A and B are shown apart, each in its own frame.
Chain A
Amino acid sequence: MSVLLDHLPELWQGLLVTLQLTVASFVGAAVLGVLVTAMRVSPVPVLRALGTAYVETFQNLPLLVLLVLVFFGLPEIGIKGPPMATAIVVIAVYQAAYMAEALRSGVNSVSKGQAEAARALGLTFGQSLRLVILPQALRTVVQPLGNLTIQLIMSTALAGAISVVDLTEAAKRVNLQEAQPIAIFVGSGLAYAAIAAAVGYVTGRLERRLVIMR
C-alpha cells in the first residue's frame, strides 16, 4: 500500500493525463459521431456512402494499430503532431465510429411519422434532424453512449504506446522501480473503476431524467 502513497505525485499526474485524454477525445468523438450519423441518414447517396465507409473503416481497425500507424506513419509524409494531440485525435476518430452506430440506432428508433410530420411542416432535412429527430434519438441511446464512454476511458490506456504518460504508463514506470505489480496495478485499476463508476452514475441519472415514455 505504501508504494502507492510514495509515488502518489507520479500516479496523480498520470490520472490527470488520463482524464484529459478522456474528456478531450469524448468531446471530439461526440461531435464527429453526430456528423457521421447525420451523413448516414441523409438523403444524399454520396454522403451516406462516406458515412458508411467511415464507420466500417474505423470499427474494423484495432485502436493500437491506428495509434502506432498515425504516430509513426504520418511523419513520413510530413504530418507530425505531438503525442498527446495525436492520441486525442486518434481515439476521438476511432470512438466516433462506435458513437455514430449507437446514435444511428437511436435515429432508427424514432418513428417514421415524426420525420414525415416534420417534412409536412416544411422543415428542411437539417432542421428536422436538429429539432425533431436527434433530440428524441439521443434520449433513447443515453445508456449505450455511457457504455461507449466507459470503453473510451479504458481505450486511453493504449496511449502509452505512443509515449503519452497516462495512468497505466505511470503505473508501469512506478512498478519498474518498485517491483510490486499487484499493489500498483490494483491501485490504478481502482482509479479506472472509480472513473467508470462515476460515468455510469451520471448515465443512470441522465437516462432516468430523459427517458421518453412511449
Chain B
Amino acid sequence: MRKMVAVVAVSLLGLAACSSTGGGSNPAVPGDAKPAASGLLAKAPVADAAAIVPGSTMEKIKQRGELLVGGSLDAPLLSQQNPVSGEVEGFDASMGKALAKYIIGEPKVKIVNSASETREALIGNGTVDVVFQTYTITPERAKQVAFAGPYYTSGLSIAVKKGTTGIAKPEDLNGKKVIAGANTPAIAAIKKLAPQAEIITFGSDPECMQALKQDRGVAYVQDETLLAANAQKDPTVQVIGNPFTEDPYGIGLKHGDEQFKKFVNDWLKKMQDAGVWQQAWKDSLGTVVKGEAPAPPAIGSVPGS
C-alpha cells in the first residue's frame, strides 16, 4: 500500500511538471472550432463509375470500403487528432477524406500514423494506399514511391525570440545553433544555406518552441504556416522575412502504379476546379495565414511528380 502511494505521488509530480513546462506552447489549439469540415466534404466530387476500372487499385479500395491513409496525428493545421472528438483534422486530413469520398462515395478513411522513416516502406508493402503527410517531392524519394500532385507548396521560414538581432536571412545562421524539427526538410535546407550552423533537432513542434524559448538555439527553422501559428499564439516569438525555400508536397503512391497516379491527379484537378481544395486550405492553414487561398501548384510541375 505504501509503495502504491509513493508511485502515485511520483507520477502526479511528473504530470504537474509536464503541464507547467508544456503549458505555454501547446500547439493543439490553433482554431478550436473546426468549422464546416462536413460541409467541405459535401462539396467534394465523387468519381464516375467508369473511372473505377475493374482490377485497379481504386476498385480494390472501393471493395474494401475504406481508404488507408498514411499520415500524422500531431501536425497542427495539417493532420491533427482532435482530442475531444477523436477526428483527425487539418488540410492533409481533409484531402485524404475527400479522396476517400471520390473513390468510395463516403469519406471513410483509416489514418495509419506513419513516420518519416517508414512512409516508403508502408507504401511499398501495401499497408497504406496513399500518404498525405507534408511529403515533399524529391528525386531520391521518387525512386521509391510515385508522387501525385504536387497538391500544395510550402516553404521554410525562420523564427527567433523577439529582440534577437543579426538574423535576417538563412546565411546569417552560419556558426549559430539552429533548432529544427527531427525528420523535416529543414535539416537539409539549413545544411545547404548555412553549412556552419549547428543543427539541433527535436521530435515535435512544441518541443522545438520550448527549446527556442530556453535558448537552446538562436533560431527555429520550420514550415512557414506552423511558425505563423506559433507566433500568433506566443508573442515572445517572431517570424523573420518570407519563406526561403519551396517545398512541393506530393501524394505518395505505390511506385509504378501509373493508372492510380493518373486517377489521383484527375481527382486533384477536379478538387481545384470545384473550389474544394481552396476551401480545405481556408478551413485549416487559412486560419493563421492572412488573405485568400494561394493558387494551387500545377500538377506534375516538379521533378519526381
The chain A residues found within 8 Å of chain B, CB to CB, are: 53, 56-57, 60-61, 65, 68-69, 72-73, 75-76, 80, 83, 160-163, 165, 169, 172-173, 175-182, 185
Structural contact, B20 and A76, CB atoms closer than 8 A = yes
**What is the predominant secondary structure among interface residues of chain A facing chain B?**
helix
A75 contact set on B, CB distance < 8 A: 214
Structural contact, B120 and A56, CB atoms closer than 8 A = no
Structural contact, A179 and B200, CB atoms closer than 8 A = no
**A56, A69, A169: the one within 8 Å of B3 (CB):** A56
Known: A56-B3, A69-B14, A75-B214. A176 touches B116 (CB 8 A): yes
**Cα of A121 to Cα of B155 in the assembled complex, Å:** 77
CB distance from B91 to the nearest CB of A (A): 22
In the complex, the number of residue pairs spanning A and B with C-beta atoms less than 8 Å apart equals 81
Structural contact, A53 and B17, CB atoms closer than 8 A = no
Q: Which of B32-40, B160-168, B180-188, B277-285 contacts A (4 or more CB under 8 A)?
A: B180-188
Structural contact, A178 and B14, CB atoms closer than 8 A = no
Structural contact, A72 and B210, CB atoms closer than 8 A = yes
Query: Count the B residues whose beta carbon is within 8 Å of the partner chain — how many?
Result: 37
A60 contact set on B, CB distance < 8 A: 7, 10-11
Structural contact, A179 and B138, CB atoms closer than 8 A = yes
Binary per-residue interface labels of chain B (108-140) against chain A in the complex, 1 for a CB within 8 Å, 0 otherwise: 000000001110110000000000000000101
- B6: interface (CB < 8 Å): yes
- B201: interface (CB < 8 Å): yes
- B1: interface (CB < 8 Å): no
CB distance from A109 to the nearest CB of B (A): 23
**Cα of A68 to Cα of B138 in the assembled complex, Å:** 32
- B216: interface (CB < 8 Å): yes
Structural contact, B21 and A73, CB atoms closer than 8 A = yes
CB distance from A170 to the nearest CB of B (A): 11
**What is the predominant secondary structure among interface residues of chain B facing chain A?**
helix
Structural contact, A173 and B17, CB atoms closer than 8 A = no
What are 22 A-B interface contacts by the 8 Å CB criterion? A56-B3, A56-B7, A56-B10, A57-B6, A57-B10, A61-B10, A69-B21, A72-B211, A75-B214, A163-B200, A163-B202, A169-B182, A169-B201, A172-B182, A172-B183, A173-B187, A176-B184, A179-B120, A179-B140, A179-B141, A181-B121, A185-B117
**Cα of A61 to Cα of B120 in the assembled complex, Å:** 33
Structural contact, B202 and A162, CB atoms closer than 8 A = yes
Structural contact, B140 and A177, CB atoms closer than 8 A = yes
- B205: interface (CB < 8 Å): no
CB distance from A80 to the nearest CB of B (A): 7
Known: A56-B3, A72-B210, A163-B211. A176 touches B188 (CB 8 A): yes
Q: A72-B214, A80-B214, A176-B185 are in contact. List 4 more A-B contacts (CB 8 A).
A: A163-B202, A172-B182, A179-B120, A180-B144
Interface residues of B in 236-253 (CB under 8 A from A): none
**Cα of A165 to Cα of B175 in the assembled complex, Å:** 18
Structural contact, A181 and B14, CB atoms closer than 8 A = no
By beta carbon, the residue of chain A nearest B188 is A177
Structural contact, A76 and B21, CB atoms closer than 8 A = yes
Structural contact, A181 and B118, CB atoms closer than 8 A = yes
B216 contact set on A, CB distance < 8 A: 83, 163
**Cα of A169 to Cα of B182 in the assembled complex, Å:** 8
B256 contact set on A, CB distance < 8 A: none
By beta carbon, the residue of chain B nearest A163 is B200
Structural contact, B182 and A61, CB atoms closer than 8 A = no
A53 contact set on B, CB distance < 8 A: 6
CB distance from A65 to the nearest CB of B (A): 7
**Cα of A19 to Cα of B141 in the assembled complex, Å:** 31
By beta carbon, the residue of chain B nearest A61 is B14
A83 contact set on B, CB distance < 8 A: 200, 216
